[in-house]
């Protein structure tokens, strides 16, 4: 079973700023299309590993990067489930 995180964004510029912030912290992030099982106003999402989540959460809490929501994906084969674990409105 594969686990990873996906952050969604309000705009493309917000997504690109997030990517830049993560890369400056030497965190591995990959920009991907927003998965169909979640929705967003922007077509870009950022995928990162379980190991990077604590650093990403700290960065979001500090306000040095922005996202709309963060989901934990659990994938088994071709099926995946997403659970929202963080939202900007619920900080």
* Yes or no: domain 2-90 corresponds to CATH 3.30.70: yes
- Which pLDDT score is estimated for 90? 75
Strand partners, 32: 45
Look up the pTM and report it. Answer: 0.91
Q: Write down the domain spans for the chain.
A: 2-90
By percentage, how much of the chain surpasses pLDDT 90? 80
**Three-state secondary structure string covering the chain:** CEEEEEEECCCHHHHHHHHHHHHHCCCCCEEEECCCCCCCCCCEEEEEEHHHHHHHHHHHHHCCCCCCEEEEEEEECCEEEEEEEEEHHHC
């Amino acid at each position: 079973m594969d686990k990873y995180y996906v952050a969604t964004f309000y705009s493309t510029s917000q997504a690109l700023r997030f990517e830049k912030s993560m890369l400056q912290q030497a965190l591995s992030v990959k920009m991907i299309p927003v998965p169909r099982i979640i929705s967003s106003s922007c077509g870009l999402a950022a995928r990162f590993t379980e190991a990077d989540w604590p650093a990403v959460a700290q960065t979001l809490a500090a306000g040095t990067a922005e996202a709309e929501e963060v989901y934990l994906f659990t994938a088994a084969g071709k099926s995946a489930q997403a659970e929202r674990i963080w939202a900007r409105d619920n900080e």
